[in-house]
Structure 1
Amino acid sequence: MLDSIEHLTPAQIVEELDKYIIGQKDAKRNVAIALRNRWRRMNADESIRREIVPNNILMIGATGVGKTEIARRLAKIADAPFTKVEASKFTEVGYVGRDVESMVRDLVEQSVNMVKTRKKEEVKQKAAEVVEDIILDALIPPIQGGRATPSFSSTSEPNGMPDNDYELNERTREKFREKIRNGELEDRKIEIRVQQSAMPGMGVMGPGMDEASMMNIQEMISGMMPKKTKKRKVSIAEARKILLEEEAAKLIDMDEVKEEAIFKAENSGVIFIDEIDKVASASGKGGSGPDVSREGVQRDLLPIVEGSTVNTKYGVINTDHILFIAAGAFHVAKPSDLIPELQGRFPIRVELQSLTKEDFYQILKFPKNALTKQYEALLRAENVELSFADEALDEIANIAFEVNSEVENIGARRLHTVMSRLLNDILFDVPDKIGPNARIVVNREMVLERLSDMVKNRDLSQYIL
């Protein structure tokens, strides 16, 4: 189940993270160890396997320094279900807000979608064959009841004997099957039957009705109702997409999907709890009003992080071995302001560094998903070649760093604002004024010219996200 990380050592995991995230070596090392420990536990002696609990991680750092991206990329490397929540969205029981168990249900939902997608891919070929027959039947319906009564037609066999209706129908079908496979009929309209969308969610009310129970009842009622279909006239290309999804879904065993998804969520799931500092009491001693509510959120989170069972519409999930990564800026509150029990459940603490001008330069130049590469790809779609001179990247990095220093520091997110301001005119002029095969080089002069108001006037209010 965790074979995707079997051959990745902690050092190799860090290398993978380096492809997308600049700096933050300490944080990367700790999450790499946590990920490798997942595989180690699954291959440990069975007598102690259940006792090995994950070392949850608390990341401390300002916004935009890479906390969420590290956690998200880690889950992607491990092919693990991942969900992000904000602690400030939860409230203690009895107040309006999200139930803390919803983050576990979200994780299971992600896991089910991942397993379902993989299993659909496995049956894709078989589903495609079924879909081809459905499309063919819509074009040339087969003759029912076996071979038809012989009838004379203009088409005849070489021996002079006339075709019967059945043989003629089959030959025509094979010709059209070939045309379908060659993509010659993609725009031809056909009429197909498709399943109607599920009915809107029905309100189920009752005393003490929690979210999981409500979802289970709604699903049960939905399952009891007959499946309705409706006719639609669509192109063959569109029909293929619609029918492929339906037929693939019919070929997979949902009970097997649910079982595998629960196992995957329990043993490789990652839950990222952001803004954990927002539910810490700055005094560290509780109090009344908002402080009571914050402590209530922490106490609601505690059993989930410690390890408990949660009911979901796919079954019961145990949270003992889910990896929890919490994060916060901790500008006002301190990690020690969290309740002691919750602190103890995040034994690994890593502090992420604020980004420097050199970091900004590297973020623009090296990651596989660098903003510069994204904009180059967008304009390549219009057959326009965009490139950035090194001196331009250096100037962009300098401006972003200065804006962060003088206004609110939002880390690497500032680069999105600066790059958008720099390139908006170009993006607007393509393709009307800047046609295909154009070549645009962003140099230092262009950066200074287009961002002069940011450099000279320091009127930065419009660039605050």
Structure 2
Amino acid sequence: MSFVFPDPQEMQKRLQDFVKSFGSPNPMPSETDKEDRREKFKEKILQFQFTPKEIKSYLDRFVIKQEEAKKVLSVAVCDHYNQVKEALMGRGPVHYVKQNILLVGPSGVGKTYLVRCLADCIGVPMVKADATKFSETGYVGADVEDLVRELIQQAEGDTEIAQYGIVYLDEVDKLASSNMIGRDVSGRGVQSNLLKLLEETDVPVKAAYDVLGQMQSIFDFQRGLRSLRKTINTRYILFILSGAFEKLSEIVQRRIRRSHLGFQPHGPEKVVADLISEATTADFVEYGLEPEFIGRLPVRVFCQSLDAEDLFHVLRDSEGSILKQYKSSFAAYGIELKFTEEALRLIAEKAIEEGTGARGLMTICEKILRPFRFELPGTGIKEIEIDPPTVEDPEEKVLKILKEMDEAKKTKEKEEIEQFLHEFYKSNEIRIIFQNEAIEALKQEAQERGISVLDLCKEKFKNYALGLKLVKKNNGQSVFTISKEDLLHPDETLNNWIAASYKSNFLQSTESDSCS
């Protein structure tokens, strides 16, 4: 069957139908709502009165260690948003040189978390991305300008708010020309494209190759809407870039050695962290960053590696500790999760072995808590305590808990059955005896129905007090044995006993009359 290509009019009709269905089902916010939100945001920036010490104190609540990094970031952010405040008041400098920031440090030391906490503290939108997803052209990979467009999305489409946000770009060291072996050699081109963003440029709100954006424009046009602003300026967007720069210490070490006369450097050898903190612009250029690119990052922050003691404090003291997330997860099932201090130290030690910094904490905690999260919800357990033996063998602890709960459950069921039988005898002076199979059947049915064995007994034998009294009156019987079969139809069993007692009573009366 051959395909018939539609004529231009049919294509136009199909396109119009598609565009009509393209609009968001949610009503668009009115210009009044946008203006109100914009004014509230500007008012918040105008009231920006943080001091560097206040911002550092806020960061101290969440980020462990990195004292120097927190100080440098606090100063840079305060300076930047004070300039933003001046600009909003019409007093900003004609030529503003941004204090864009470069964070250097190994994975898992808190670089991303520092930036996220900064954005939360100030109350501005933030975008995070990895440099490795970008390409020079934008056709293979993303375009660096998409960072700014994502910032607009974070600001709910408001460019007035987005232009004062924070863009955080991680793994920027992967753009270095020394790391280009075996991958797309567009890293240098991406650096060049980032240059204009780091200073000041106008970025189109919608990318030229964005089909979705083009369709939305058509949709807006059909609705009679016109965008008031097609571009966003990056002058007051703060860019924070970060990377591990693993081999930077070797470059610094070579430079230091060359600077000394003779064959041996003077003084003791420095550790890697100390070497990296002495990195200069020339070292970054030798690493593979373009001079113009590293020059746009005047504020350089060097983060320290975390040891086991630091990770222990991350778990115990940080307001953003991963333990809070796990405790909340268990609390949803009515379970209180506790950790001993010794267990936290052991978790921190194991996380160090992972070699991923603070990220290793989640790896270890996930391994420990996974069997608890699967087995214990819905069992009725109210509290779990994680101690060192549990950290070493969580599966054994889970099995022990389940065994203890099963034994406690059996004990409780036995006590409830004995309670029912005792109360029945005390009230009626009639003894009921359950066969072993009947007891197991009662337990199983109670579990299936989600009620206690005591409540099940009261339900099944609610008519037995009156009925068995009749039987006892008729034939004097005061002990009754209930089998598993009797539990299937307890009322029918009772009726049979009553009928048999009347029959027995009638026969006894007949025999008595005959003898007389």
Using structure 2 for the length normalisation, give the TM-score.
Answer: 0.54
Q: State the alpha-carbon separation in 1 of the partners of residues 351 and 91 from structure 2.
A: 54
- Residue equivalent to 2:52: 10
Change (3 A) 1:320 1:13: same
Query: Unmatched 5+ residue regions in structure 2?
Result: 1-41, 207-228, 249-282, 397-516
Which structure would you say has the larger RCO, counting Cα contacts within 8 Å and 6 or more residues apart? 1
1:262 aligns with 2:211: no
Q: State the alpha-carbon separation in 2 of the partners of residues 324 and 388 from structure 1.
A: 39
Within 5 Å, which residues of 2 pair with 1:124-203?
Answer: none
- Residue equivalent to 2:391: 447
Cα displacement (A) at 1:417: 1.1
Within 5 Å, which residues of 2 pair with 1:381-400?
Answer: 381-400=332-351
Whether contact under 8 Å (1:2, 1:78) holds in the other structure is no
Percentage identity across aligned positions? 37
Whether contact under 8 Å (2:109, 2:305) holds in the other structure is yes
Cα displacement (A) at 1:444: 1.7
Q: State the alpha-carbon separation in 1 of the partners of residues 333 and 378 from structure 2.
A: 11
- Residue equivalent to 2:361: 415
Q: Deviations over 1:241-288 (max 9, x none)?
A: xxxxxxxxxxxxxxxxx6xx322222x2101111111111128xx9x9
Give the counterpart letter for 1:273 in structure 2: L
Cα displacement (A) at 1:47: 5.1
Q: State the alpha-carbon separation in 2 of the partners of residues 394 and 291 from structure 1.
A: 43
Q: State the alpha-carbon separation in 1 of the partners of residues 129 and 393 from structure 2.
A: 41
**Equivalent residue for 2:81, pick from 39, 61, 84:** 39
Whether contact under 8 Å (1:22, 1:363) holds in the other structure is yes
Whether contact under 8 Å (1:35, 1:78) holds in the other structure is no
Paired residues in the alignment total: 294
Q: Secondary structure at the match of 1:59?
A: strand
- Residue equivalent to 1:272: 168
- The structure with the larger Rg is 2
Whether contact under 8 Å (2:134, 2:143) holds in the other structure is yes
Cα displacement (A) at 1:79: 1.1
- Residue equivalent to 1:317: 232
Give the counterpart letter for 1:27 in structure 2: A
Whether contact under 8 Å (2:84, 2:92) holds in the other structure is no
Whether contact under 8 Å (2:109, 2:304) holds in the other structure is yes
Q: Deviations over 1:64-105 (max 9, x none)?
A: 111111111111111111111211111112751212211111
Change (3 A) 1:451 1:74: farther
Q: State the alpha-carbon separation in 1 of the partners of residues 100 and 138 from structure 2.
A: 28
- Residue equivalent to 1:330: 245
Whether contact under 8 Å (2:173, 2:242) holds in the other structure is yes
Using structure 1 for the length normalisation, give the TM-score.
Answer: 0.59
**Equivalent residue for 1:67, pick from 101, 105, 111:** 111
Q: State the alpha-carbon separation in 2 of the partners of residues 352 and 289 from structure 1.
A: 29
Give the counterpart letter for 2:114 in structure 1: I
Please say which of residues 44-53 and 420-429 is displaced more in the overlay: 44-53
**Equivalent residue for 1:360, pick from 301, 306, 311:** 311
Within 5 Å, which residues of 2 pair with 1:70-85?
Answer: 70-85=114-129
1:21 aligns with 2:63: yes
Whether contact under 8 Å (2:106, 2:244) holds in the other structure is yes
- Residue equivalent to 1:125: none
Q: Secondary structure at the match of 1:282?
A: helix
Change (3 A) 1:373 1:50: same
Cα displacement (A) at 1:51: 2.4
Give the counterpart letter for 2:367 in structure 1: R
Within 5 Å, which residues of 2 pair with 1:220-369?
Answer: 261-266=158-163, 268-282=164-178, 292-313=185-206, 315-332=230-247, 335-336=284-285, 337-369=288-320
Whether contact under 8 Å (1:372, 1:388) holds in the other structure is no
- Residue equivalent to 1:431: 377
Give the counterpart letter for 2:374 in structure 1: F
- Residue equivalent to 1:117: none
Query: Unmatched 5+ residue regions in structure 1?
Result: 114-257, 453-465
Higher share of residues assigned helix: 2
Change (3 A) 1:315 1:76: farther
